[in-house]
Amino acid sequence: MDTQKETDAASRASVYSRDVSLPAPAPLPRDEDRDTLLHYYYQMVLIRQFEEKAAEMYSKAKIGGYCHLNLGEEATVVGFCAGLEPSDYVYTNYREHGYAIGRGISPNAVMAELFGKETGCSHGRGGSMHLFDIERRFMGGYAIVGGQIPLATGAAFAIAYRGSNEVVACQMGDGTTNGGPFYESLNLAKIYQLPIIYFVVNNLYGMGLRVEKGSAVSELYQKACAFDMHSERVDGNDVLAVRDALRTAARIAREQHEPSLIEAVSYRFRGHSVVDPDRYRNQEEVQAGRAHDPISAFAARLMAASLLDENGAHEIEEQVQRDVAAAVQFANESPDPALEELFDYIYAPEDTPLKGTE
């Protein structure tokens, strides 16, 4: 028994280092625009602090229900958003606060949604797991694992049907690739030649189940071969690598009308949700994961290229602190949804304008 435990612990510790044995972050390419890079950095810091504040607000019972954080996944999140155009459509799972912010929904509207307020991006009806913004084409966080995949595939179907030029990007976790909707939908996307990017964030765990214990193939991008589909595995700690993989996939979608599967290997700094004490992960592994902090790694690259100095980094952090404090204040001061509106939105009225037919 003890021997088994030791073996398990050893394999867990080693597997993490194996899975990130991707190329070390390269020096920044020369043709990158400074302001764009600094904006990525700002967004990553914003998501980090927003999520830390969300955890704090959860512990103060300002936020209810379940609350899943993007801590540790900031490069994956920002790279994903940076690889898309504003006219593209995004579907995600329930770990989506960062994606919502990355798509341009204001932190105020996201925090207000977590607080269940009328000013939230889903008018307080959805909460942490169900963020939505039709204007920014953020088509929802979905809390049934895999539920978003057929929906995203359908959005891509509508784009192909109309012959327009947008792309759909559908984010999911590693555990999702073991369920039926994943296989059914990738098959549909290939046979109908749909402009969609399936984006798997492999943070190595479902809730507590290791990826290789739940999936017959632990390099998840390989699953695309069953559908004769372009696929790629990238270092989810490298914002530019994730962005570039998305850009390539988006080009394939727009120009060749073909779907893709991108796997970003990432790591969750905390438990599955705010209330998860994270006892199933080996502490050594967690320390190693945190040591690969995507934000400090990106800061180091920016500094090495003389695009950022300590002062600049400090200024960005202070700006973010102000933004997050403002979001909390906005959420606190916003009104609850009115009780007499309990029955609003069950059915859409006859004259509701439909997307694409306004």
Partner 1 sequence: MAEITYRQALHDTLREELLRDENVFLLGEEIGIFEGSYKITAGLLKEFGPKRVVDTPICENSFVGMATGAAMLGLRPIVEIMTINFIVLAMDEIVNHAAKIYYMFGGQCPIPLVIRTPGGGGQQLAATHSQNLEVWFAHVPGLKVVAPSTPADAKGMLRTAVRDNNPVIFLENLALYNTKGEVPDGDYTVPFGQAKVAKEGADLTVISYSRMSTMALDVARRLEQANKLSIEVVDLRSLRPLDHETIINSVKKTNRAIVFEEDWRSFGVGAEIAATLQEEAFDFLDAPIKRVASVEVPLPYSKPLERAALTGAKQLMEAIDEIKPRRRR
Q: Which of 62, 125, 254, 290 binds partner 1 (CB under 8 A)?
A: 125
**Residue 114 touches partner 1, criterion: CB under 8 A:** no
Q: Name which of 206 and 236 has its Cβ closer to partner 1.
A: 206
**Cα angle vertex 292, ends 291, 294, to 5°?**
125
**Residue 236 touches partner 1, criterion: CB under 8 A:** no
Q: Which of 25, 102, 116, 126 binds partner 1 (CB under 8 A)?
A: 126
Q: Name which of 75 and 152 has its Cβ closer to partner 1.
A: 152
Minimum gap (Å) between residue 111 Cβ and partner 1: 16
Sole residue written with tokens 């947008």: 166
**Residue 257 touches partner 1, criterion: CB under 8 A:** no
**Residue 357 touches partner 1, criterion: CB under 8 A:** yes
Name 42's Cβ contacts closer than 8 Å, sequence gap at least 6: 316, 319, 320
Q: Which of 157, 198, 205, 298 binds partner 1 (CB under 8 A)?
A: 157
Q: Which of 78, 155, 250, 253 binds partner 1 (CB under 8 A)?
A: 155
Q: Which of 20, 82, 111, 159 binds partner 1 (CB under 8 A)?
A: 159
DSSP 26-42: PPPPTTS-HHHHHHHHH
For residue 60, the 8-state DSSP code is: T
Beta-bridged to residue 91, according to DSSP, are: 170
**Residue 154 touches partner 1, criterion: CB under 8 A:** yes
Residue 274 in contact with residue 52, Cβ under 8 Å?
no
Minimum gap (Å) between residue 352 Cβ and partner 1: 5
Minimum gap (Å) between residue 355 Cβ and partner 1: 4
Sole residue written with tokens 């632990």: 218
**Residue 149 touches partner 1, criterion: CB under 8 A:** yes
**Residue 115 touches partner 1, criterion: CB under 8 A:** no
CA atoms within 13 A on the CB side of 276: 18
Minimum gap (Å) between residue 153 Cβ and partner 1: 5
User: Near partner 1 by CB under 8 A, which window of 96-104, 144-152, 311-319, 320-328?
Assistant: 144-152
Beta-bridged to residue 90, according to DSSP, are: 138, 169
Q: Name which of 120 and 271 has its Cβ closer to partner 1.
A: 120
Q: Which of residues 192-221 bind partner 1 (CB under 8 A)?
A: 192
Binding mask 168-187 for partner 1 (x = CB under 8 A): ------------xx--xx-x
Q: H or E stretch including 264?
A: strand 260-265
Q: Is the dihedral of CA 201, 204, 210, 211 positive or negative?
A: positive
Q: In what order do the strands lie in the sheet with 168-173?
A: 138-141, 89-92, 168-173, 196-202, 260-265, 230-235
Instruction: State the number of binding residues for partner 1 (CB under 8 A).
Output: 49
Under DSSP, is residue 139 helix (H, G, I), strand (E, B) or coil?
strand
**Residue 226 touches partner 1, criterion: CB under 8 A:** no
CA distance 80 to 171: 9
Q: Name which of 187 and 218 has its Cβ closer to partner 1.
A: 187
Q: Which among 92, 48, 52, 94 is positioned nearest to 74, based on CA atoms?
A: 48
Q: Which of residues 315-354 bind partner 1 (CB under 8 A)?
A: 344-350, 352, 354
User: Near partner 1 by CB under 8 A, which window of 7-15, 100-108, 129-137, 276-284?
Assistant: 129-137
Under DSSP, is residue 275 helix (H, G, I), strand (E, B) or coil?
coil
**Torsion angle (degrees, nearest 10) of CA 163, 168, 174, 175:** -70
CA distance 327 to 56: 13
Q: Which of 69, 75, 100, 139 binds partner 1 (CB under 8 A)?
A: 139
Interface positions with partner 1 (CB under 8 A) = 89, 120-126, 130, 132-134, 139-140, 142, 144, 147, 149-159, 161, 180-181, 184-185, 187-188, 191-192, 344-350, 352, 354-357
